Structure 1
Amino acid sequence: MIEEQQIIRIIQAIGRCTRSANDYSTIIIEGNDIQSILLSEKKQRLFEPELRAELCTGIETSSSQDTLTELSEVGQLVLNQHDPNWKNIEDHILEMRDNFNNEERECSIHDLLKSVVPLEVKFQYALWNDDEYAAVQISTAIVDKLAKKGDKRLKGFLYYWKYLNFSIRLKQSSSKSETESIKNDFIAFINTESHSISWFSRLSRLLSIDSPQIKNSQQNDERIAIQTDNIEKILNNELSNKTKTSRMKLFSSQKKQILDTLSNKGGTNYEEAVKKLGYWLGFKTDNTFAPAGPDPWWFIDGHTLIVSEIKILGENNPISNSHISEFNGHKNWLINSPNYPNIDNTTNFTCVFISNSKK
């Protein structure tokens, strides 16, 4: 399954270079993983005859060169289509292609997966458009295609789409009896068909969880997805247009600055470090210096907040009742503040008291 996906990605990447019959390019393969795929005769058979012939010719040609200069000169031939030496290479490619066309190719799974790809795209569009009916129909068609093949190598892929199909049907169900019927059918399928796929078998336990717990789990998944997306945006904004060395240096500098500040005694720099830590972890962050207001808080959306109260005290100073009272008031302060209209009584608060005091 993984090999098939890798082959598809390679074909897509190479296809970016030659979109029409008149295009030509020299492609340099870097990395041991992809080279091991392309050097395997068994895996070469998964490619279409023409691309397979180009790959094999490229391997033969590059392997026969002793120096980087010689290899570069051969690569330049592609850019001069009228060179007699290139004509010899092209004739060799065409000859190999014809030979491969006459072979029985081992790509039945590859062909099946190719036929599934358009349906996968349509399924994604259906989800984007909130067209649950279409999503059910498309995912059912994919399941039928994969099940009809009956190849054990596609078992994980089949069950993945079975799960997606079940999930959409469950979301689409309009009555409690229909929901229970879908659940029971799916549990029966899990218990009879999927003993060799552990993650699929574990789904039956999820179906017995009370709906509030399922809803909370789904919300957590959504929050993690948003947080991950935020981290990607942060990395892109902060580290883009830089070399790998520069990116690592900048990130290491930011990390060191935050951790060094958090390791030292507090003040406004400490609060700023807490705020920056949340930022790099994918949270939106804020702070206020208003009387009785909280110290930095992190949030994904208006419904999930981590609120802090930071008290860095003298070595022998204890945490006082007034500190605790101030800490306990942060939730109401944020709910009642006109500056944060998205925070209300439905917001899920996690309040954290940070202090160096041991008393």
Structure 2
Amino acid sequence: MDRIGVAFAGGGMTPPEIVDCVQLAEELGYDSAWVAEGHGGDQFSILTACALATSRIRLGTSISSVYVRSAPTIAMAAACVDHFSGGRFILGLGSSHKVQVEPEHGLEFSGPIPRVRDTVDIVRRLLRDGAVTNYQGEAISIGTFDLHFPTFRPEMPIYLAAVFPKMLEIAGEISQGVLLTWCTPEHARTASKHIATGAARAGVSPETVEVATLVSVAAPGADDGGMRRVAATYAGRFPRYRRLMAEAGFADEVEEVRRAWREGDVSLAESLVPEGLINRMSLPTDPGAKRERLAEYREAGLTLPIIAPRVSGPNAGATAKQIIRANAPA
């Protein structure tokens, strides 16, 4: 059976609806379930509920920001979910985005790479030793912090979100897995090479580093309105993903989307999202085309496709379940 994960980012679903969806995913043989941060509920609370309602499926954050929680807070939350899940937890970390961290949380966004490195180091020390003392990193300094409880495992898998070469190589160097998103097969191929470079730098076999990507997917028979809405949001708000879309061959179109978004015309921005971008960066609903795309991803070096149901509105939970059933591992 080919491994497939599923990821949730709110979309109008209540936390209990996400738990129901994760239970269904476990029944259908999904490898893992991931919960995003930003909006839609507290990811660690939801994953704790998922842990108590399941017994086999792996559970992860996709991702937890190294800015909006302190490194010790992340370590405590991760260690707790690991206890409740019996060691099924994966900690997905990332820098998030300046356009989120500063206006949404009132925090300064600077030096993302040093902060990611220090956070990974601190979390690992706390899980292994239970405490850190006189930690002087490049971005974070801690006098002393003690967990005051035993961890379930002294080590847990840490995956890092990455988009471009520098962070991809660092992820290959210091993490057990990499989380991509808005990823074409072509980008997956390039990303896998950079991840392998980082792994080699650390003396690690590239095959031991999981390469995963979140892939947007709609319900069978649905129009592409939901996809356009999400794509326009990413193209309009996030420079990192706008650049990724441009490099995928949609530079002029994405610039038009950005301009409309900046001018406050969200409807126009959504209508300007090119169909080719949606087709190349999401998972087809046609079964044959879907198998071909998943084969493309795996040939390009991806080891774990993670479907991300794009749902909204009062029927979001039911629609997500429909998507989970339609994309279950073969």
* TM-score (norm. length: structure 2): 0.22
Structure (1 or 2) with the larger CA radius of gyration: 1
* TM-score (norm. length: structure 1): 0.21
Higher strand share: 2
Larger RCO, structures 1/2 (Cα 8 Å, 6+ apart): 2
Higher helix share: 1
